[in-house]
Chain A
Amino acid sequence: MATVTELAGDLCSGDQVKTYQAQQALARLSGEIGASGKEAEKAEAAKALAAVLAGVKPAKDNRGEATVDSIKSVNSANELCRALSLLAGEAEVAVLAECLKNIDLRETARWCLARMTCQGAADALVEAYKTATGTEYRVGLINALGRKQGSNVLETLKLAAADKEPEVALAAVEALANTPDAALDAVISSVESGSSSRRAARVARARVRLGSTLLRAGDDAGAKKVFTAVAGADVDEAPKKAAAAAVGG
């Protein structure tokens, strides 16, 4: 039976069949050792995968010459991160955080951290956001943080809601709308939508979502306040109607 390190090597082989077989073997292993009571085996497997991930060579700075290597690195990291996502814990966060600094590996490391449930994963995403560049990647970080909890997460999302890149700000308010805090309506509604009606509609929808989050959390008064404000605002018809119906109901 192949070791985790050997399977990880096959994942990075670039051979379709070998990669597939390693994926399947790791998926089986992940299920076998993912049950309660097998934490030590799970930690050992995660450690082995992370060690291979740490060894994936980043592409050279000269992008033109490095294209082939770069593609191979990305595919290898993709496979490793996906296998890791159901096994990794705090001990693997450092390796993944390092991957967030590599332009070829950062998206797949972000994806992996988004799926992980430990606090360190959230902290790594918060830290990465501080210096991240590129609209799509920054939106991805915010989306990942939208699946996390913690005061540092909330503060980062609030900060991002004021970001000068509209897509980042909109992603942030959509994430904030899942937090049951009526005061966030002011943060959400302050997002500049400029002349874009689609952006304005996204803000209105985020506010309606916040109202629903508050309702589910039992904050009826907070929800009513948000819904009433949206129903009376000059916003897109669909969220306006939804808010009005919520108030009426």
Chain B
Amino acid sequence: MTKPTGPSRRTFLKTTAAATLAAPTIVSPSIFAKGDTPAPSDRVVVGSIGVGDLGRRHHLNNKLLVNPRIQVAAVCDVDRNHRDLAANDVLTKSGKMPGVYKDFRDLCDRKDIDAVFVVTPDHWHALVSIYAMETGKDVYCEKPLTLNIEEGKKMVEVARRYGAVFQTGSQQRSEGPFRQAVELIRNGKIGKVQRVDTYIGNIDAGKWQAPITPPPELDWNFWLGPAPYADYFPNRCHYQFRWFSDYSGGKMTDWGAHHNDITQWALEKDQSGPVKVRCEQAQFAPDGPHDVALEFDIAYTYADGVELHCHSQGKNGIKFTGTDGWVFVSRSQKEFDAHDKALLTWQAGDNDVNLPRTETKHPHHDNFLDCIASRQRPICDVEIGHRSATVCHLGNIAIRLGRELQWDPAKEEFVGDDQANQLVGKPMRAPWHL
């Protein structure tokens, strides 16, 4: 970042934040919400790592390049077309040519970059995020945060060691309906929560393609990185990687990282997790190629007896059932429902539990920027993202092993099951390692 010449807004934020460190993280509204254009010295200089569909469309174009608090200084992708198109977006919209990189380490080694957005396939999240934090960067990393539990533990360790501000891209925490539902629950409006049902969707079996030579613009070996070597075919790579267990955890982690994350938030388990998990049913593609479960029902139990049931079928959303009522929440405000109906219009008062909120057009990103200035932990800090991803990984491990498993959320290991503990982590293909 360029050095400010006088007291800047970011300096002010850092100072005031230090004085109020114990205060709750309620940033309402964001200090930049009035459309002010910050001085260049106040802008967060970012690098965007992984600029395929999600990285380029959702983050770069819809969030970063439209945010006056951000200057995009670099883009990075192992696909030359992705990075060149992204660079063109930056040049067109900001008038400045960004640095263009294939190797994330070259981008992270730049001293003028404050923060990175990690929007790579999941099997790269941990390696890129850890390197970024170790080079002094703050990190916004897409969900699901990790490919396995061991990666998340390392990410939390490194974030704390380097004092990195880390936002997990589980943006539902910054969206109104979910906050409203969680505030209802945290304020006891449905009594004691007994059961949560998350409905996260299913996938199809996919289609085999004959292995072919990777296109010249794609460095396939780099794309695979820590994953075991595999022959290239297009359906294995961009976007579709989600349905191959070497790169992701299927729908369980893709949408579980959203709805199970909100469950953890509502149950106040952000530093913990369930203690028991079992797969009630799972269906796989009979002939492939997708090797993650297509359909599943997973049952979790928390130490206080609350049950979480994660389903692939059913209307997308979350239903919380308590002793005195229930709440259903999804991304559609129209689908927000509750019993009794009076809960639909209930608002938390000053004496109620109020959850953090950032009331801007892009609240999850702005919360990250606010926290970069204040050095507070964002609304979906690295440990929160890790613990929510863990819930999903536990589900996948239970599917894989087909037996009930006991989980110790404090030690983050399975109780009395060596084989399950082997699945907490996964070796990486040389030369990569955590």
- Give chain A's interface residues, CB within 8 Å of chain B: 16-17, 20-21, 23-24, 27-28, 30-32, 34-36, 74-75, 78, 82, 85-86, 107-108, 110-111, 114-115, 117, 135-137, 139-141, 143-144, 146-147, 167, 171, 174-175, 197-198, 201, 205, 208-209, 212, 236-239, 241-242, 245-246
B161–A21 CB distance below 8 A = no
In B371-415, the 8 Å CB interface with A consists of 400-403
Is B334 an interface residue when CB atoms closer than 8 A count as contact? Answer: no
A144-B291 in contact (CB<8A) = no
Q: Are A117 and B418 in contact (CB under 8 A)?
A: yes
Please pick, from A16, A23, A175, A241, the residue contacting B136 in the complex, using a CB distance under 8 A. Answer: A241
Cβ-closest chain A residue relative to B109: A198
* B356 interfacial by beta-carbon distance below 8 Å: no
Residues of B within 8 A of A (CB): 105, 109, 111, 134-136, 157, 161-163, 208, 228-229, 231, 284-289, 291, 400-403, 416-419, 422-423, 426-433
Nearest B-chain residue to A243, judged by Cβ: B161
Residues of B within 8 A of A245 (CB): 163
A-B contact pairs, 17 of them (CB 8 A): A16-B208, A20-B287, A30-B401, A31-B419, A34-B401, A35-B403, A85-B422, A107-B429, A111-B228, A115-B427, A136-B430, A140-B430, A143-B433, A201-B134, A237-B111, A241-B163, A242-B161
Q: Contacts A16-B208, A36-B416, A36-B417 given; indicate if A144 touches B288 (C-beta within 8 A).
A: no
Chain A residue contacts of B231, Cβ below 8 A: 75
Q: Find B433's partner among A146, A197, A236 (CB 8 Å cutoff).
A: A146
A17 touches B430 (CB 8 A): no
Closest to B289 in A: A20
For B163, what are the chain A residues with a Cβ–Cβ distance below 8 Å?
241-242, 245
Q: Is the CB of B417 within 8 A of A32?
A: no
A82 touching B136 by the CB < 8 A rule? no
Are B288 and A139 in contact, with the CB atoms below 8 A?
A: no
Would you call A212 and B157 a contact (CB within 8 A)?
yes
Contacts of A246 in B (CB 8 A): 161
Give the distance to chain A from B40, nearest Cβ to Cβ, in Å.
Answer: 22
Q: B402 near A16 (CB under 8 angstroms)?
A: no
The answer for the CA separation of A74 and B231 in the assembled complex, in Å, is 11
> How many angstroms between the C-alpha atoms of A144 and B287 in the bound complex?
33
CA distance A21 to B285 in the complex (A): 9
* Beta-carbon contact of B136 and A107 below 8 Å: no
Given contacts A21-B287, A143-B433, A238-B136, 20 further A-B contacts (CB under 8 A): A16-B208, A21-B288, A23-B291, A30-B419, A31-B400, A31-B402, A32-B402, A35-B401, A35-B417, A85-B422, A111-B427, A115-B422, A117-B418, A135-B431, A139-B431, A141-B430, A147-B427, A174-B433, A197-B109, A241-B162
Q: Would A86 and B422 be within 8 Å (CB), given that A17-B208, A171-B433 are in contact?
A: yes
Q: Which residues of A contact B111 (CB under 8 A)?
A: 237
With a cutoff of 8 Å between Cβ atoms, the chain B residues found around residue A20 in the complex are 285, 287-289, 291
Query: Measured between alpha carbons, how far is A115 from B428 in the docked complex, in Å?
Result: 10
Q: How far is the CA of A157 from the CA of B284 in the complex (A)?
A: 42
Chain A residues within 8 Å of B288, by CB: 16-17, 20-21, 24
* Residues of chain A with a CB closer than 8 A to B136's CB: 237-238, 241
Partner of B284, one of A24, A30, A110, A209: A24
Chain B hits for A16, CB < 8 A: 208, 288-289
- Determine the distance from Cα of A117 to Cα of B291 in the docked complex, in whole angstroms: 25
Cβ of B235 to closest chain A Cβ, rounded Å: 11
Q: Which 10 A-B pairs have the closest CB atoms?
A: A140-B430, A20-B288, A238-B136, A34-B419, A114-B427, A31-B401, A143-B433, A139-B431, A31-B402, A17-B287
List the A residue with the shortest CB-CB distance to B233: A16
- Assess A78 versus B208: contact at CB under 8 Å? Given A86-B419, A117-B422, A237-B136: no
Instruction: Choose among A34, A107, A117 the residue with the greatest number of B CB atoms under 10 Å from its CB.
Output: A34
Is the CB–CB distance between B429 and A242 below 8 Å? no
